[in-house]
Structure 1
Amino acid sequence: MTARQVPLVSLFLSLFLSLISGTYHVSATSTPPSKDLNIPTVVDLRIEGQNRTIFSGPIRTRGHNVTSASGVTLHCDGTNNHTNPTPGPTCTSALDDASKQAGFSWDGELFTEFDDFLITRIARSEQTATEFWGILVDFQFTPVGGCQQQVKHGDKVLFAFNAFNKTHFLSLAGPKAAAVNSSTTFAVTDGASGEKIANATVVTLRGGPVGITNADGEVSLEFGKTGIHVVKAFREDSIRSNHVKLVVT
């Protein structure tokens, strides 16, 4: 072995022994790869239009460029107006994905100073001089527009027509299963405050029992037919509730 080969062999041997003994470390100044926060995320999206529920259910979304019905394209990933440092899924990206999945359109006015849309129409529900679309996450109004507001897995995202003129945003709770011809109790509350809502009409969609909530926000319904039933709550001064689906056997 030559004199030149000796230090190389010593170096390789030293590295090998360090690795197997666990004493060799990567420099503390090494920068780990950045985590991509703009990953597909499932949120619970509900769109309550002027006269009907336009969409209700889980939607998989991530931040992406969106194009309004008027043909305006905008990045919609939460970095709008420098609101968030990294891109991610947003309220309006969820709306856009739902529109493609369910076959409805949406439109909005672009405010360049906020780098965001003001939603003006979803499906056939279009704003008026006094009735506007509002956006809520977990029953709280968002402090920024829908392309600025990022969302996370499981968030309850609500687009509500005439949201600013309503007293309550109804939340309906009830069982997932019931026995035929037995009393089944449902409860209606204000989603934001938890207040019990009296005088709300709880309706079985596509035919079935109907009832009015009492002072405790509760109503009992009796289902005379087996099968899957969908129940929803309404009150004139409120945004209609989520639906509860239950199996009657």
Structure 2
Amino acid sequence: MQISFIFLIISSILTLTLCADPGTTVNVRIEGKTNTIFESNVFTRGHNVTTVSGGTHHCDGTNLNSHPTAGPTATSALDDASKHGHFTWDGTFSTTYDDFFITRIGSDAQTATQFWGILANYNYTKTGGCQTRVQKNDQVLFAFDAFNKHFFLKLAGPSTARHGIETIFRVTDGSSGKPMSGATVDKYVSDSDGNVKITFAKGGWHTLKAEHNDSIRSNTILVQVH
């Protein structure tokens, strides 16, 4: 009897360990109305989230029975990013969808025609942010006025360059991989293949980001110029 009891305790401990949310690290990028509010890697676990408008609710992937066990989610990553980035956000809570609807990040609040969208790896999430589980190294994007934009820019290129030597970067639509022409990176403009040819006039660290008037601005590339 005693052995069976001990075995039961050990089994329970193992079950709890296996079911515990280990958390993961994802890249969170928040593109606001006129600037990038936050862009960095964030470690997140599913947890209770509190907003002024929505109150406190669980946000761990089990929302609306989307997943059988708790884990990190898109909105839990946003909540953790807000702590690292020292910005606030708000959202209402729907009991029907068992999820938050994001209404404001930083100072950028939704309007009657402009709303916040959530994308994972450049694709719109199919469920709410507390239902959407995220995995290691996922690219999680929160974009203001997302539904009125046609493209979500992605910038690729080297992290080092030579002073005075032309270096090529490439701008694409992250969702489709389509090359983006006419996008601006610094003072340079991408060609029909999405290529941007940049000659750095001075050494040091340079921050690059692609923009286009009908698109959500791109990720950042830090380039060290020698």
Offset at residue 38 of structure 1 (A): 1.3
Contact kept in structure 1, 2:53 and 2:93, CA below 8 Å: no
Per-residue CA shift, 1:21-45, capped at 9, x if unaligned? Answer: xxxxx9xxx8993323511210011
Question: Take 1:36 and 1:152, find their aligned partners in 2: how far apart are those partners?
Answer: 16
2:196 paired residue among 219, 237, 244: 219
4+ runs deviating over 2 angstroms: 30-34
TM-score, normalization by structure 1: 0.83
- Determine what percentage of the aligned residue pairs are the same residue: 52
Per-residue CA shift, 1:55-80, capped at 9, x if unaligned? Answer: 00100100011111336111110001
Residues 1:115 and 2:98 aligned together: yes
Offset at residue 184 of structure 1 (A): 0.8
Per-residue CA shift, 1:140-165, capped at 9, x if unaligned? Answer: 10011111111010100000011111
Question: Take 1:99 and 1:139, find their aligned partners in 2: how far apart are those partners?
Answer: 21
TM-score, normalization by structure 2: 0.92
Size of the alignment, in residue pairs?
215
Residues 1:245 and 2:226 aligned together: no
Question: Take 1:234 and 1:76, find their aligned partners in 2: how far apart are those partners?
Answer: 32
Residues 1:39 and 2:10 aligned together: no
Structure 1 letter corresponding to 2:14:
P
Unaligned runs of 5+ in 1: 1-25, 204-209
Unaligned runs of 5+ in 2: 1-6
Per-residue CA shift, 1:151-193, capped at 9, x if unaligned? Answer: 0101000000111111000000010100111101110000010
Which one has a bigger Cα radius of gyration?
A: 1
Offset at residue 93 of structure 1 (A): 0.5
Q: What is the root-mean-square deviation of aligned Cα atoms in Å?
A: 1.5
The alignment partner of 1:33 has SS state of: helix
Question: Take 1:37 and 1:246, find their aligned partners in 2: how far apart are those partners?
Answer: 39
Instruction: Determine the structure 2 residue equivalent to 1:183.
Output: 166
Contact kept in structure 2, 1:230 and 1:246, CA below 8 Å: yes
Question: Take 2:54 and 2:117, find their aligned partners in 1: how far apart are those partners?
Answer: 22
Instruction: Determine the structure 1 residue equivalent to 2:46.
Output: 63
Question: Take 1:99 and 1:70, find their aligned partners in 2: how far apart are those partners?
Answer: 16
Offset at residue 224 of structure 1 (A): 1.4
Per-residue CA shift, 1:191-222, capped at 9, x if unaligned? Answer: 0100000000012xxxxxx2000001111111
